[in-house]
Amino acid sequence: MVKINSMRIPGSWRQGYVLDHHTLWSNFIGHDEFGHAMFDTKRSEIGELLYRLKYRSDQSVIYAIVDTAAGFIASWNPDLSVIIPAPPSRHRDFQ
């Protein structure tokens, strides 16, 4: 299971949590030869897996993400009625 730093989030629900921050820090380092901005970015472990899934189409990380989320839910042991995922920012065939 991936190391996480779960945090409670406020909202119009009884309890809500995120597994961790996605990005820990990101510093602009210049532009590439095509004029695209480049960044030196440090992500949390779960943030890196999500980045690989969303932006590199690396479906091999899905099981680690699911196992981590399931482990958190099992350890939290809520009286759970629904899990609401964040909607994708754009359509992806495998989300």
Domain assignment of residue 56, yes or no = yes
In the block, residue with structure tokens 């510093």: 27
Q: What is the pLDDT of residues 8-21, one digit of tens each?
A: 999 998 888 899 99
Beta bridge partners of 30: 38
Q: 9 near 53, Cβ under 8 Å?
A: no
Domain assignment of residue 85, yes or no = no
What is the domain extent for residue 15?
7-76
Domain assignment of residue 81, yes or no = no
How many domains are there within the chain? 1
Q: 23 near 10, Cβ under 8 Å?
A: no
Domain assignment of residue 91, yes or no = no
Please name the amino acid found at residue 92. R
- Give the number of residues written for the chain: 95
What's the whole-number mean pLDDT along residues 41-47? 98
User: Of the candidates 89, 20, 19, 95, which has an alpha carbon nearest to the alpha carbon of residue 57?
Assistant: 95
Tell me, what's the pLDDT at 76? 80
